[in-house]
Chains A and B, each alone.
Chain A
Amino acid sequence: DAGVTQSPTHLIKTRGQQVTLRCSPKSGHDTVSWYQQALGQGPQFIFQYYEEEERQRGNFPDRFSGHQFPNYSSELNVNALLLGDSALYLCASSLKPGLAGRRFGPGTRLTVT
């Protein structure tokens, strides 16, 4: 029974570029939540996807967008990268929004130079 997986593990981009991060939920889960964790901080909620729609969004600009596919996997896209977007991006899955058991994937470490 596979847990949450994310790709890539590390990524280096230049300011102004665009990036796409990917997440596959734990088997049996249908909801994907994305978090940003800056160095020395707790994870911050970006958004949540369920039934291929964005259900809830945190305090992040429109440069952050996402998508969920019919197989429940999800992508996080960030446009016009800023140095401040450098962080660990975590994905968590659950069965239905609002349910507990949020276990995180290994994360993608994004560095913007």
Chain B
Amino acid sequence: GENVEQHPSTLSVQEGDSAVIKCTYSDSASNYFPWYKQELGKRPQLIIDIRSNVGEKKDQRIAVTLNKTAKHFSLHITETQPEDSAVYFCAALNYGGSQGNLIFGKGTKLSVKP
């Protein structure tokens, strides 16, 4: 089955700097890769996603890149702000298959220092 590895487990940056979180997946059939942000005590919130027919996707300060050959994808946050501090999870899914459960990484705790 699918396995998702996420690094780093913790990341501390200064406000205004960029943050990069990386994930690798094992199942070449996975073709949908969402990223979630989870604040303390709250549900994971979908912040951006990418499908395997796209190499990069941007939404304001957030971007995701995908390298299908290497089976890895990354989340990039530019101009970080204190409100970006949270735990971020990557996940993988075989979109459109007969079964579809998200496999999550273990999370990255991002701290943005003012």
Cα separation A41 to B6 with both chains bound (whole Å): 12
Whether A18 sits at the interface, judged by CB under 8 Å, is no
Whether B53 sits at the interface, judged by CB under 8 Å, is no
Spot the interface stretch: B58-66, B67-75, B98-106.
B98-106
Task: Say yes or no: A99 contacts B95, CB within 8 Å.
Answer: yes
Size bracket, chain B contacts: 20 to 34
Cα separation A94 to B105 with both chains bound (whole Å): 21
Task: Say yes or no: A42 contacts B104, CB within 8 Å.
Answer: yes
Task: Say yes or no: A41 contacts B100, CB within 8 Å.
Answer: no
Cα separation A102 to B97 with both chains bound (whole Å): 14
Contacts of A94 in B (CB 8 A): 100
Which of B43, B49, B96, B100 has a CB less than 8 Å from the CB of A105?
Answer: B43
From 48 to 72 in chain A, residues with beta carbon under 8 angstroms from any chain B beta carbon are: 48, 55-56, 58
Which of A42, A99, A102 has a CB less than 8 Å from the CB of B105?
Answer: A42
Report the count of interface residues on A (CB-CB < 8 A): 25
Which of B45, B93, B105, B106 has a CB less than 8 Å from the CB of A100?
Answer: B93
Which of A33, A100, A105 has a CB less than 8 Å from the CB of B34?
Answer: A100
Task: Tell me the minimal C-beta distance from B5 to chain A in angstroms.
Answer: 11
From 87 to 113 in chain A, residues with beta carbon under 8 angstroms from any chain B beta carbon are: 90, 92, 94, 97-100, 102-107
Task: Say yes or no: B34 contacts A98, CB within 8 Å.
Answer: no
Contacts of B49 in A (CB 8 A): 100
Whether B44 sits at the interface, judged by CB under 8 Å, is yes
